[in-house]
Amino acid sequence: MNNQEPVAAAVSRFLAQDSSQSFSSYVIALSGGADSVALLHAFAQQLKKASLRAVYIDHQLQEASSQWATFNQDLCKKLGLKFDVIKVKVADAASLEAEARKARYKAFAGIIGRDECLLTGHHQDDQAETLLLQLFRGAGPKGLSAMPEQAAFGKGVHARPMLQVSKRDILDYCEHYNLPFVEDPSNQDTQYRRNFLRKKVIPLMETEWPEVKATLARASDIQASTQELIEEVASTDFARCFDLDKGLSISSLVALSPVRQTHVLRYWLQQLDQDMPSQKVMDQVLQQMLRSDLDAQPSVSFGHGAIKRFQGYLIWVNDVIDELEPVHETWTADSDLELRCGVKISLNWLKQDSPELVGKPLQVKTRQGGERFRKRNAEHTTSLKNYFQEEGVRPWQRDRALLILFKGEVRAVFTEHLQQG
């Protein structure tokens, strides 16, 4: 087997392309399967041993997982490489496969430092399977882009050098170098959709289209280019629509075509690191937020929060905003006030906002509704609703405001504790 063999050639190509990045070290995600074993061996032939280490993530889901750890340790010892094991706990969920993946990458993200590169053994067959899974979920160009060859990860980078290498080539590599590997029995279980594709669907497709895996991988590359163009346009549109203090401008959004509106919203949610909603939910957001009456207060919830509308802008509100328990406490206003709900009203704030109240016997209450507020040096009172509108306090935050009363009259309103978002 010469240097042009696909696995070794892919590693050589990767190292040549990424020499400019000067990674201080490489971390192989070593499961013990043929893919990661071949990747480990190929890198060990072309890199200094000191710059390469392997890490096995033990999901503790299989009885043999500890034996696989021992297998990987012995393999690394033979190759003269550093080796570590990280045990993770996988949450119970409908998709155990997805939860295991989430736990695995969370563990890797915690150990990849600056100038380090995580290497995984994903290959052309994996790419074809991923594209089909995304296609059957109704994904757009982003989902159909499948797995990128390289992306930012943790404090470093995650790379997949073998995406152009077939599974057959990987097995041939292991056979040529007499490399042992383990077989995870769960990979044979066709109850998992990826395994169903691998064992049932793709072999059937190959009877009619022998090169279907390579074709699907190329299609994924084309979708990745399309997605890159979409994100470039969305980034430009987003910059024109977004105000850091206020949110997404509705007037700027409605000036765009519906397709560009959708991509701006997706780009915004991506910047917020939020789960991407379905197209049905996205259509609901566009309909309610951009086309409902001006005096309406629409809210569309999904993921871990909601999109709301306020004073001509769209705002993302996290679920962590909880109702405030009723407050009714006295305050001598000569020191900071620590409330049982965890909110602190500082004396310095009162000195700046309402110095005439310092040292007075005050009452601190939560809003009940219908209260009126006398501003400093004002002859007449105003409704709290009008005050909140003037001060830009958002409707969903108003019940958490704290009213400060003197002689039964609201004289100050504390909103410093309200989350902006």
Q: Which residues are part of a known binding site for ATP? A: 31-36
Q: Which helix (H) or strand (E) holds 241?
A: helix 212-241
User: Which residues in 144-192 belong to E strands, given as ranges?
Assistant: 150-153, 156-159
Distance between CA atoms of residues 106 and 104, nearest Å:
5
Q: What is the CA radius of gyration of the chain?
A: 29
State how far the Cα of 95 lies from the Cα of 137, in Å rounded to an integer: 15
- The residues near 309 (Cβ < 8 Å, ≥ 6 apart) are 250, 289, 296, 297, 298, 299, 315
CA–CA gap between residue 287 and residue 266 (Å, rounded) = 15
Amino acid symbol at 248 = L
Beta partners for residue 413, in sequence order: 403
Annotated binding site: 31-36
Task: Give the integer Cα–Cα distance in Å for 398 and 310.
Answer: 13
DSSP string, 16-72: HHTGGG--SEEEEE--SSHHHHHHHHHHHHHS-GGGEEEEEEE-S-STTHHHHHHHH
Distances (CA, A) of 134 to 127, 147, 167, 179, 365: 11, 11, 20, 33, 52
Cα separation, 147 vs 150, in Å, equals 9
C-alpha 47/C-alpha 50 separation (Å) is 8
